[in-house]
Amino acid sequence: MLKTLLAQVKEYKTPSFLTPVCMIGEVICEMLIPRLMAVIVDDGIYGGDMQVILRTGGWMIVVAVAGLLCGVGGGFFGAKAAAGFAKNLRKAMFDNIQTFSFANIDHFSTSGLVTRLTTDVTNVQNAYQMILRMAMRAPSSMIVAMVMSFMISPRLASIYLVAVIFLALVAVFLIRRVTVYFKQVFERYDDLNESVQENVRGIRVVKAYVREDYEISRFSKAAENIYHMFVKAEMNMTLVGPVMSVTVYSCILLISWFGAHLIVSDELLVGDMMSLLTYCMSILMSLMMVSMVFVMITMSQASGRRIAEVLEEKTLLTNPKLPVTKVEDGSIRFEHVDFSYREDSGELVLSDIHLEIKSGESIGIIGATGSAKSSLVNLISRLYDVTAGRVCVGGVDVRLYDLEVLRNAVSVVLQNNVLFSGTILDNLRWGDADATEEECAHAARLACADEFITQMPDGYHTHIEQGGTNVSGGQKQRLCIARALLKKPKILILDDSTSAVDTATDARIRKAFAEEIPDTTKLIIAQRIASVKDLDRIIVMENGRVDGFGTHEELMDNNAIYREVFESQTAGGGDFDEGD
Partner 1 sequence: MAQAGRGRPRPKIDQPGKLLKRLLIYVFRHYGIQMGIVFLCIGLSIFANTQGTLFTRTLIDRYIDPLKNAQQPDFVPLAHAIFRVAAIYLIGIVAQFAQARIMVYVTQGTMKRMRGELFEHMQRLPVRYFDTHAHGDIMSIYTNDIDTMRQMVSQSIPQLVNSVVTIVTIISMMLVLSVRLTLVSLGMVVVMVAVSALVSRYSASGFVAQQKNLGALNGYIEETMTGQKVVKVFCHEKQAIGEFDRLNEELYRSAFKASAFGNMIGPISMQLGNISYVVCALVGGLLAINQSAGFTVGALASFLTFNRNFNMPINQVTMQFNMIFMALAGAQRIFALLDEKAEEDEGYVMLVHAKEENGELTESETRTGRWAWKHYHKDSDTTTYVPLEGDVTFHGVDFGYTDEKIVLHDIVLHAKPGQKIALVGSTGAGKTTITNLINRFYTIQDGKIRYDNINVNKIRQQDLRRSLGMVLQDTHLFTGTVMENIRYGKLDATDEEVIAAARLANADGFIRRLPQGYDTMLKGDGANLSQGQRQLLAIARAAIADPPVLILDEATSSIDTRTEKIVQEGMDHLMKGRTTFVIAHRLSTVRNSDQILVMEQGRIIERGTHEELIALGKKYYQLYTGGTAKSA
Site residues (CB under 8 A) for partner 1, limited to 278-317: 278, 292
Nearer to partner 1, 14 or 99 (CB): 99
CA atoms within 13 A on the CB side of 317: 24
Nearer to partner 1, 212 or 356 (CB): 212
User: Does residue 117 bind partner 1 (CB under 8 A)?
Assistant: yes
Are 351 and 543 a contacting pair, CB within 8 Å? no
Distance CA 271, CA 259 (A): 11
Looking at 301, 387, 408, 470, which residue binds partner 1 (CB under 8 A)?
A: 408
User: Does residue 411 bind partner 1 (CB under 8 A)?
Assistant: yes
Considering only residues 438 to 467 of the shown chain, the ones binding partner 1 according to CB under 8 A are 466-467
Looking at 5, 18, 27, 40, which residue binds partner 1 (CB under 8 A)?
A: 40
Looking at 20, 44, 544, 548, which residue binds partner 1 (CB under 8 A)?
A: 44
Looking at 6, 158, 172, 420, which residue binds partner 1 (CB under 8 A)?
A: 420
State the Rg of the chain over Cα: 36
E strand residue ranges, 302-361 = 332-339, 350-357
Measured from the CB of residue 498, what is the shortest distance to partner 1 in angstroms? Answer: 10
Find the angle CA(417)-CA(419)-CA(425) to the nearest 5 degrees. Answer: 130
Are 70 and 25 a contacting pair, CB within 8 Å? yes
Distance CA 480, CA 509 (A): 13
448, burial (CB in 10 Å: exposed 0-12, middle 13-18, buried 19+):
buried
β-bridge pairing 422-423 and 463-464: antiparallel
Q: Residue 67 contacts by C-beta under 8 Å, 6 or more apart in sequence?
A: 25, 26, 29, 30, 33
Nearer to partner 1, 328 or 575 (CB): 575
Single out the segment in contact with partner 1 by CB under 8 A; choices: 157-165, 172-180, 211-219, 335-343.
211-219
Nearer to partner 1, 91 or 354 (CB): 91
Nearer to partner 1, 33 or 388 (CB): 33
Nearer to partner 1, 386 or 565 (CB): 565
Measured from the CB of residue 428, what is the shortest distance to partner 1 in angstroms? Answer: 11
User: Does residue 153 bind partner 1 (CB under 8 A)?
Assistant: no
Considering only residues 561 to 580 of the shown chain, the ones binding partner 1 according to CB under 8 A are 565, 568-569, 572-580
Looking at 2, 13, 95, 172, which residue binds partner 1 (CB under 8 A)?
A: 95
Are 479 and 471 a contacting pair, CB within 8 Å? yes
Distance CA 157, CA 280 (A): 9
β-bridge pairing 388-393 and 396-397: antiparallel
To 10 degrees, what angle do helices 437-446 and 473-485 make?
Answer: 120
Looking at 21, 28, 355, 403, which residue binds partner 1 (CB under 8 A)?
A: 403
Nearer to partner 1, 421 or 454 (CB): 421
Single out the segment in contact with partner 1 by CB under 8 A; choices: 319-327, 335-343, 499-507, 509-517.
499-507
Single out the segment in contact with partner 1 by CB under 8 A; choices: 100-108, 142-150, 337-345, 541-549.
100-108
Find the angle CA(572)-CA(525)-CA(433) to the nearest 5 degrees. Answer: 135
The distance of Cα 489 from the centroid of its chain, to the nearest Å, equals 33
Nearer to partner 1, 176 or 576 (CB): 576
Residues contacting partner 1: total by CB under 8 A: 154
Distance CA 250, CA 77 (A): 38
Distance CA 62, CA 67 (A): 8
Considering only residues 505 to 544 of the shown chain, the ones binding partner 1 according to CB under 8 A are 507, 527
φ, ψ at 401 (rounded to 5°): -80, 155
Looking at 206, 295, 400, 556, which residue binds partner 1 (CB under 8 A)?
A: 206
CA atoms within 13 A on the CB side of 65: 5
Measured from the CB of residue 336, what is the shortest distance to partner 1 in angstroms? Answer: 26
User: Does residue 25 bind partner 1 (CB under 8 A)?
Assistant: no
CA quadruple 515, 517, 521, 525: dihedral positive or negative?
negative
φ, ψ at 333 (rounded to 5°): -135, 125
User: Does residue 204 bind partner 1 (CB under 8 A)?
Assistant: yes
Q: Residue 192 contacts by C-beta under 8 Å, 6 or more apart in sequence?
A: 219, 222, 223, 226
Q: Residue 290 contacts by C-beta under 8 Å, 6 or more apart in sequence?
A: 138, 139, 142
Considering only residues 47 to 86 of the shown chain, the ones binding partner 1 according to CB under 8 A are 48, 50, 53-54, 57, 60-61, 63-65, 67-68, 70-72, 74-76, 78-80, 82-84, 86
Single out the segment in contact with partner 1 by CB under 8 A; choices: 347-355, 446-454, 501-509, 552-560.
501-509
Are 546 and 353 a contacting pair, CB within 8 Å? yes
Bridge-partner residues for 521, per DSSP? 491
Nearer to partner 1, 54 or 518 (CB): 54
For residue 570, give the amino acid letter: T
One character per residue 237-256, x = contact with partner 1 (rule: CB under 8 A):
xxx-xx--xx--x--xx--x
Nearer to partner 1, 26 or 450 (CB): 26
User: Does residue 416 bind partner 1 (CB under 8 A)?
Assistant: yes
Considering only residues 327 to 366 of the shown chain, the ones binding partner 1 according to CB under 8 A are none
User: Does residue 33 bind partner 1 (CB under 8 A)?
Assistant: yes
Looking at 463, 504, 511, 557, which residue binds partner 1 (CB under 8 A)?
A: 504
